[in-house]
Structure formats: structure tokens, C-alpha cells
Structure 1
Amino acid sequence: MKTKSDSEILKEVMDELGITNASHFSRELGYANGSAISNILRGEKGKNISEKLIAKITDRYPLVDKLFLRKGEGTILKQNTSIELQGDKTNYTLNDLPKLTLQLLEEQKKTNEILMKIYNRNL
């Protein structure tokens, strides 16, 4: 038995993913218009999260937990999911994401500094 309505489940997933527009979300999932998602969000009778929709969401967003989509239980995003970065054989988890983000920002800052030096030399 579900602990939340399909509307609540879908809204929480969209919030977690930072998606604010149902039409945009629908198109990302391969629907021609936004009605598939909007109808569920409005709680229209007979409109629910189907196995097909669960497959579309988890194919597009693999970190979204299927159990949460089915029952509203557990966490929205899978825990301890390994992430393999291209060319890097280290297995990362979601817990590593903040550290990786900071490293990426530092590398971007260094790259920008180098580009500015090259640009200033060519003036």
C-alpha cells in the first residue's frame, strides 16, 4: 500500500531533480505534450504512475529509486549508488558528489586563469 498519493510522489521526485515545469519533464521523458505528467500532478482520477512511466523516469534519471516511485517509501534517490567517471576507474557514491563538485570547480578556476593569461598575452 502506498504511503503517499501519486501526485505527491511525482512532485517530490520533480523537486529533488530541480524540475519545475511538468511540460518540460514530460518532453524529457519522451511524451509529445505535458498532459501525462500534469494529469498525475493534478490528481486526476485514473491517472497514476504506471510501470511504463517508472521505466521512462528511471531510464532518464537512473538515480531515482523505483521503490519510491511505486510506493512513496524510502528515499527518492538511490543510496550508495556507484558512479563511474569516464577514464576514472574509481567507484564513487552519491556521498562523494560534494567533494567531486568542489574539485571540478577548482579545476575550472585553474583553467580560466590559464585562458586569461593566454588571452592577455595575445592582446
Structure 2
Amino acid sequence: MGKVLTDAEIIEKLLPAIKENANSFSKALGYKRAASIYNITKGDARITTGMAKKIVEVFPEVNYLFVTLGQLPIKIDQSKAIGQNHILKFTKNTAKFENIPQLLSDILKEIKGLREDLKKH
């Protein structure tokens, strides 16, 4: 499914739902200035994946699908928020496993080299 709302519309609907303004929202997300948020509301910037994840990390009641696609509801109940958090952390942690095939290949090469060294002695 494609995006239902623009990023500007998402921010414009999100802020009142979480009782924040652009300045307090940007500070809660760890930004020094609100320019990142204002640029989105003006249509000059987009909500990045990193920003979307940060939003639901800081505001766990916010629906990730709303932030990324504009799909309602804006806010979710606690049980869904817990599930959403687990899914997002799982997605973040899967990057750690991307190197496993290369690591296994390196280990097998090392074992092969050690076997060859043992045969020589």
C-alpha cells in the first residue's frame, strides 16, 4: 500500500495528537533546532526511516505505520506499542547478522589452513 498522507500532513496531524509543537517535538527527538521538523511541514524535507524509528522510540504510543505511510490510527494501545517496539528492534538488530556468511567463510579458511599446517608437521 502506498503512502496515504504526505510527510507534511503526517507531522501536522501527529503533533496535536501527542500534544507537542514543532519545537518541543524536535527537542524530544534530540535535535538541537526545530528546523528539521519545520522543513518537513513545509514540504522541503521528508521523514527518514531513522527519524520514524526515533519518533516511535521516544513516543511509543505513536503508530509506526502512521509515521511512515500515514495509515491511521495515529496512536496505538500499549499492547500494540510493545509489539511494534519488538519488531523495530528486531529489524535494527538484524544488521548484526548480515556478516555471518562472510565470518563463516573466513573461519572455514582458517580451519583449512590449520589442517594443512598440521599435515606438514
TM-score higher than 0.5: yes
Partner in structure 2 of residue 117 of structure 1: none
Structure 1 gap ranges (5+) = 84-123
Q: Answer yes or no: is 1:26 the counterpart of 2:32.
A: no
Partner of 1:50: 48
Contact 1:63–1:81 (8 Å) recurs in 2: no
State the AA in 1 paired with 2:51: L
**Residue aligning to 1:10:** 11
Offset, 1:82: 6.8
Which stretches of structure 1, 4 residues or more, deviate above 3 A after TM superposition? none
In the alignment of these two chains, the number of paired residues is 80
1:86 counterpart residue number: none
Structure 2 residues not aligned, in runs of 5+: 82-121
Task: Name the larger-Rg structure.
Answer: 2
Provide the aligned C-alpha RMSD in A.
1.7
TM-score (norm 1): 0.60
Q: Which has the higher helix share?
A: 2
- Partners of 1:18 and 1:52 lie apart in 2 by 22
Identity percentage over the alignment? 30
Give the 5 Å matches for 1:61-76. Answer: 61-76=59-74
